[in-house]
Amino acid sequence: MPFDPNFIRRLLPALLEGAEITIELSVLTIAICLVWGLLVALANATRGPLAWLAAAYIQIVRNTPLLIQMYLVYFGLGFAGLPLSGFMCGLLALCLQNGGYVAEIYRGGLQSVSARQYESGRALGMRRWTLYRVVVLPQVIARVIPPLANQGISIIKDTSQVAAIAVMDIMKVAQIWVESSANTYDVFLTVGLIYLSLTTIVSFGARFAERRLAFVA
Model pLDDT for residues 134-185, shown as the tens digit of each residue: 777 778 887 888 899 999 999 999 999 999 998 999 999 999 999 988 889 9
Q: Is 209 exposed, middle or buried (0-12, 13-18, 19+ CB in 10 A)?
A: middle
**Calpha distance 198→194 (Å, rounded):** 6
**Calpha distance 23→9 (Å, rounded):** 21
The DSSP secondary-structure symbol of 134 reads I
Res. 119: pLDDT tops 80: no
Q: What is the mean pLDDT of the chain?
A: 88
**Calpha distance 15→91 (Å, rounded):** 20
User: pTM above 0.85?
Assistant: yes
The CB-side HSE value for 5 (13 A sphere, CA atoms) comes to 0
For the chain, list the domains and their CATH numbers: 5-212 (1.10.3720.10)
Query: Angle at Cα 115 formed by Cα 112 and Cα 117, nearest 5°?
Result: 100
Read off the pLDDT of residues 6-36 as tens digits, 9 standing for 90 and up.
Answer: 888 999 999 999 999 999 999 999 999 999 9
DSSP letters, 48-73, are SHHHHHHHHHHHHHHSS-HHHHHHHH
Q: What percent of the chain has pLDDT over 90?
A: 60
